[in-house]
Structure 1
Amino acid sequence: MERRELLRRLAAAGALPLLPALARAAGGADDWQAEFEAARTPWKSGFATPPGDLPPTRAKVRGRFPDAVAGTLYRNGPAGHDLGGERYRHWFDGDGMVHRFVIDGADVRHQGRYVATPKRMAEVRAGRRLAEAFGTMPPGAEPPTSPDSINVANTSVLPMQGEVLALWEGGSATRLDARTMETLGVKTWRPDFAGMPFSAHPRTGPDGTVWNFGVSAAQSMLALYEIARDGTLRRATAVPVADLPMVHDFAVTERHLVFLMPPLVYDSKRKEAGASFLDAHVWRPELQMRVLVVDKKNWEQRQLLTLPAGFLFHVGNAWEEDTPGGTLIHIDYVRSENAGSVFTTNREVMRARWVKRADPHLAVATLNLRTGRATQNALALDAEFPRIDPRRVGLRHRHVVHATQTMADRPGFTAVARTNVETGRSQRYAFGRQAMVEEHIFIPDGTGPGWILGTVLDFGQQRTLLSCFAADRLAAGPVAQATLPYTLPLGLHGAFVPA
């Protein structure tokens, strides 16, 4: 009898909870791991698990990276997708690995290192998964003792005061040595905020102030943070928000914090019944897309507006203007019709399957704080991972850098674009059908047009590329490109620190 048929019959006989243990005992893998290993899809290397840390390696460089790009690019993403023959059921579950690209003209060196969170270290010692994850409930998972007992530190980074904070959604930031990337422990901003969620999308204003938030879904509480340029906490509080949804990103303006809240709402009864954190959420379109606007100076002053129901992960930027008709806030974000991608698309890639859902598109919304009316305009441009000139955070901007050009037969994007969100005009560079474009960021260069820097998985050649473009000549192609002699797991977000 074939192994897969045996597993199917065992499941039908009620032995489902024992399957992972039986698979390990037999020296095999669970169904998802077996399917992933058997798949012939070449793009699956973007979701493979590096067996360990990646030592410092010099890349092959074509061209020369500009002087303004001399420095270090840090990137973070889920990398530890399987352990002990068991594979996670969601892309967002994997243990975080932070990558460090040191750039100096024609010299680029890469190093990758797993974030040694308490969760990861305990599971590596045990040789199996012990804790629940965002979208997976491993058999026999132990109830979390705190948010940080399940922290995977796998989403983004925040360079701060000689360290790099590895960020996640549901718990503390994790401190790393900026040079060696050694894990130093969790960051506790204030004793009473120990373990409080600290989002993976902080916003740093032009004056160096860092603003952030955190979502405590079970308590329906939204944490707010204001951090000084020197890394000291100025303020932190938690405010109640009814029907608090899954919020991944937000925006700041000169006077406000802006939260776009999709109708994907936490249901405690589902969690009590044993669902994963993701599956404890319910799509409730009747709530619409609520927009919470918080006064920066007085967090008790809050206003709620509504947009048509939709889902989002990422926001580009927001800015405000005072008009005779009232204060207007303009905000651009990446909008999907529903949350199908997070429930299905980002799950099925874990077994190297592609299930396409509605493409995300750029949208620009306008909020009138006097009338309480909100409107939006959707641009006919598929997009993800929006980034802007960091000097324009919270100020009027026109251009957003983002990934674009989805494919019908596989996940990801094949091009990087720079789009004017006021006119809709866009320029792009396409890497080809065998490329998967990751987040690209904007790097200023004095009063010049600046540079665009980011990574791409070339699964045709099984290499990861680091490319640099002139921002005003993106379609002309990279002015410099570094090629690693291996592929990196597809990551999420990063930050650049100039030399």
Structure 2
Amino acid sequence: MQRRELMRLLASAGALSLLAPLARATGTDNWQADFEAADVPWKTGFATPPGDLPLTRATVRGRFPDAVAGTLFRIGPAGHDLGGERYHHWFDGDGMVHRFVIDGADVRHQGRYVATPKRVAEVRAGRRLFEAFGTIPPGVEPPTSADSINVANTSVLPLQGEVLALWEGGSATRVDARTLGTLGVKTWRPDLAGMPFSAHPKVDPDGTVWNFGVSSSQSMLALYEIGADGALRRATALPVPDIGMVHDFAVTERHLVFLMPPLVYDSKRKEAGASFLDAHVWRPELGMRALVVDKQNWDKRQMLALPAGFLFHVGNAWEEDTPRGTQIHIDYVRSDNADSVFTTNRELMRARIARSTRPHLTVATLNLGTGEATQKVLPLEAEFPRIDPRRVGLRHRQVVHATQLRSGVPGFGAVARTDVETGRSQRFSYGPRAIVEEHVFVPDGSKPGWVLGTVLDFGRQKTVLSCFAADHLASGPVAQAVLPYALPLGLHGAFVPA
């Protein structure tokens, strides 16, 4: 099949089997009632803001360093219910993008829903019109394209003065970096309209942007190379049999690396009326497959095998040439299975906790010369790994991540900085009444740099932005900004210096 035809199929199918028959929900949906009746203070993190949040000044303790003068953009699912019906999965909610404008002792916050065609149509109708990742609301019709159900809720990519709000299955959505107004979908090239553009692009030190997209129903992988000027250089689509649910990937100096968990799409389940999520099956016999693609020649590919496991996020990867061949070292957050996506992130929508296997920071080595793959699981709970952005694809040691799972509270309670070569780690715990969101590393020339991130302080029902000295993380924040309200818990973000 010609690649242009592959891309046409990708664009029409997106990440979903769009024209498959949908199950029609029947009976009373009690998820909204369950959520409202739940007597847990942390449920604020999964509540739906009734509208956009105007620019508001935070209360600041201390002073944010000059290196973090700029804007922290964050995004996450926020529109969880509409017309008395509540989504059944955290990942389904309409995206809300946030900006924290930081200038010394002055911090201001603004939040706006991403006005995707889906959200605009549903708010106008006062009810859900389309299926979602893990929910098929009653009475919905088959979507006409991937972008007709695009929720733009997962990550952000600042690019050429704009911010792209990213999802998994369709186009990026352009957002005004100053006003957060929605500008429309990003079309890299007319024949690529609607192709999946995933939520974790990687930016090389020279500014080159790499990304991918997955069409599960077509068993295809889209690849993108974008220049620092924001112009598309290359895009193609590759067939990958039994492609797994891939959320993130890594780049090295010469390769793209995809860790594919054995969570595989089953079209028969979709045809029987399952949601996109529930159309996936766990096939541990496939193992964790590592697909390595040459950056310069995308036809040059190699598959290696690791023990079966599940992941959402990758920290970084780097490569070295050895007498036994090129070795790629990649760190990622590994779980034994995919229970978290099926159970934990569903029950949150009813303000309930369902524990799944614990995710751990893991370091794998892929030998391209011998085809051998090994890994070491560190005894450290982790999620949302981030590194110094100047080290993307290069040898690194330090990873910033969330850690410290607790009973009775979802998510994590601490932020950590871990040396992936020695396993040594330092952490700061926010206390028993806080839920940690992703923290990012902010460079400061040749100095150790800073760690910047948000938490939901559900004890005070407020969101707090904190800044740490990266080399003294355990000493606590050097500055904090407290908003007069709590934001819904989000997923990913990016910092743009002033």
Partner secondary structure for residue 129 of structure 1: coil
Q: For 1:146-166, what per-residue CA distance to the aligned partner results, in whole angstroms no more than 9, with x for missing partners? A: 000000000000001111000
Deviation at 1:408, TM superposition (A): 1.9
Structure 1 residue runs of 5 or longer lacking an equivalent are 1-15, 21-29
Question: How far apart are the structure 1 equivalents of 2:391 and 2:159?
Answer: 19
Match for residue 460 of structure 2? 461
Contact 2:25 2:137 in 1 (8 A): no
Give the counterpart letter for 2:230 in structure 1: G
User: In structure 2, how many angstroms separate the alpha carbons of the residues matched to 1:347 and 1:18?
Assistant: 19
1:48-67 equivalences in 2 (<5 Å): 48-67=47-66
Q: CA deviation at 1:250?
A: 0.1
Aligned position for 2:423: 424
Deviation at 1:181, TM superposition (A): 0.7
Once the two structures are superposed, residues 466-490 of structure 1 have per-residue CA deviations (whole angstroms, 9 ceiling, x without a partner) of 0000000000000000000000000
TM-score by length of 1: 0.95
Aligned residue in 1 for 2:11: none
Aligned to 1:313: 312
In 2, Cα distance between equivalents of 1:128 and 1:140: 10
Q: Distance in 2 between matches of 1:404 and 1:176?
A: 31
| SS state at 1:318 partner | strand
Distance 1:354 1:219 in 2: 34
Structure 1 equivalent of residue 172 of structure 2: 173
In the alignment, what sits opposite 2:148?
149
Asked if the contact 2:343/2:354 (under 8 Å) is kept, the reply is: yes
C-alpha distance in 1, partners of 2:409/2:450? 29
- Cα deviation digits, residues 65-93 of structure 1 (max 9, x gap): 00000000000000000000000000000
- Residue identity in the other structure for 1:279: D
Q: How does 1:162-241 map to 2 (within 5 A)?
A: 162-241=161-240
Runs of 4+ in 1 over 2 A off after TM superposition: 16-20
Give the gaps of 5 or more residues in structure 2.
Answer: 1-23
Kindly state the Cα deviation for residue 410 of structure 1 after the two structures are TM-superposed. 2.0
Deviation, 1:174, is 0.1
Cα distance per residue 1:397-438 (max 9 Å; x no partner): 000000000012221000000000000000000000100000
Structure 2 match to 1:446: 445
How far apart in 2 are the matches of 1:80 and 1:143? 21
Alignment of 1:483 with 2:485, yes or no, is: no
Partner SS state of residue 340, structure 2: helix
- Counterpart Cα distance in 2 of 1:103 and 1:494: 15
TM-score scaled by structure 2?
Answer: 0.95
> How far apart, in 2, do the equivalents of 1:429 and 1:96 lie?
29
1:19 Cα deviation (Å)? Answer: 3.7
In structure 2, the residue corresponding to 1:412 is in which secondary structure? Answer: strand
Q: Distance in 2 between matches of 1:247 and 1:18?
A: 32
Local SS of the residue matching 2:344: helix
Secondary structure, counterpart of 2:409 in structure 1: coil
Residue aligned with 1:141, SS: coil
Give 1:393 deviation, angstroms: 0.2
- Write out per-residue CA displacement over residues 209-261 of structure 1, whole angstroms, 9 at most, x where no aligned residue: 00000001111110000000000000000000000111000000000000000
One-letter amino acid of the structure 2 residue matched with residue 91 of structure 1: W
Q: 2:404 corresponds to which letter in structure 1? A: Q
Residues 378-389 of structure 1 aligned to structure 2 (within 5 Å): 378-389=377-388
Please give the residue correspondences for 1:27-426 in structure 2 after superposition, counting only pairs within 5 Å. 30-426=29-425
For the structure 1 residues 188 and 395, does the alpha-carbon distance in structure 2 shift closer, same or farther, using more than 3 Å as the test? same
Contact kept? 2:25, 2:136, Cα under 8 Å: no
Higher relative CO (Cα under 8 Å, sequence separation at least 6) belongs to: 2
| Deviation readout 1:114-154 (Å, 9 max, x if unpaired) | 00000000000000000000000011111010000000000
Partner of 1:411, secondary structure, is strand
Q: CA RMSD in A?
A: 0.7
How much identity, in percent, do the aligned residues show? 81
- Displacement of 1:378 after TM fit? 0.2
Answer whether contact 2:249 2:259 (CA < 8 A) is retained. yes
Letter in 2 for 1:269: K
Counterparts of 1:200 and 1:408, CA distance in 2: 30
Letter of the structure 1 residue corresponding to residue 490 of structure 2: G
Query: 2:264–2:283: 8 Å Cα contact kept in structure 1?
Result: yes
AA aligned opposite 2:83: G
> Tell me, what secondary structure is at the counterpart of 1:180?
coil
Q: What is residue 12 of structure 2 aligned with on the other side?
A: none
* Alpha-carbon offset, residue 18 of structure 1: 4.9
- Secondary structure at 1:148's aligned position in 2? helix
CA distance in 2, matches of 1:176, 1:453: 22
